[in-house]
Amino acid sequence: MNPFVGLHYINKGFKLIRRPGLRRFVMIPLLVNILLFSAAIALGSHYFESAMAQIIPTGWQWLEWLLWPLFAITMLLVVFYSFTLIANFICAPFNSLLAEAVERELTGNVTGSQTTLMQALKQTPTILWNEIRKIGYFLLRALPLLVLFFIPGINLFAPFIWFAFSAWLLSLEYLDYPMGNRNILFSQQRQILKQHRISSLSFGASVLTLTMIPIINFIAMPLAVAAATALYLDKIDTPQKQPLN
């Protein structure tokens, strides 16, 4: 069991996307991330002050110094994770190509034949449907969790619960690319990752942290795809490999 395994593979993913053979697969996800996260930062900055004014009752402004960090963390988690979902939806076909290219870079081969860009685009409806299923999985669980932010007392812990929830979902999101390339269904993926729960949460938490760091969040998506592929190949791919937790 290694709770820091996510950081190791994030570092490995960063080294991978800098390799000459992989750079061309990174460009489109990188450009989409720059556009969407720039929009997220602008919207978050615009609406944050008005949200604070509505949440804190009149005469209780002295609480702002205590609640401000919690609301800031909440906004970062909700806004940036929402934009991450949108970015992954748009880039899903290209992320699948990147995962395949990373596997080829690491092993020298991939399961099945090499996918061309045109083949990936033809598979876009299937890939996007899979993304819609993941968004549905997210919404069914996210909406009840969001209620916790409005329950006095419990709302102090809500950002931490949301962080753990988002870490799990991001591990599902990015490990889906190497597993999806092997035609492993989303329901099967969840069962597989539950056997590696600590490592999955560690990886997801590391990715989530990246999405909240200005400038670094621009490369978070392609970096996470590369890191997830390396993690899957090293620790999850074969039955002989033991769970990390």
Domain of 169? 5-55+67-108+115-236
- Residue 62 in any domain: the answer is no
Would you state the pLDDT for residue 171? 93
pLDDT per residue as tens digits for the range 162-201: 889 989 989 998 999 999 888 888 889 999 999 999 989 9
- Residue 104 in any domain: the answer is yes
- Residue 189 in any domain: the answer is yes
- Residue 60 in any domain: the answer is no
Structural domain count, the chain: 1
- Residue 134 in any domain: the answer is yes
pLDDT per residue as tens digits for the range 96-120: 889 999 998 998 776 555 555 555 5
- Residue 75 in any domain: the answer is yes
Confidence of residue 243 (pLDDT cuts 50, 70, 90): very low
- Residue 96 in any domain: the answer is yes
DSSP of the chain: --TTHHHHHHHHHHHHHTSHHHHHHHHHHHHHHHHHHHHHHHHHHHHHHHHHHHHSPTT-GGGHHHHHHHHHHHHHHHHHHHHHHHHHHHHHHHHHHHHHHHHHHHHS--SSSPPPHHHHHHTHHHHHHHHHHHHHHHHHHHHHHHHGGGSTTGGGTHHHHHHHHHHHHHHHHHHHHHHHTTT--HHHHHHHHHTTHHHHHHHHHHHHHHHTSTTGGGGHHHHHHHHHHHHIIIIISSTTSPP--
- Residue 242 in any domain: the answer is no
40-44: average pLDDT: 70
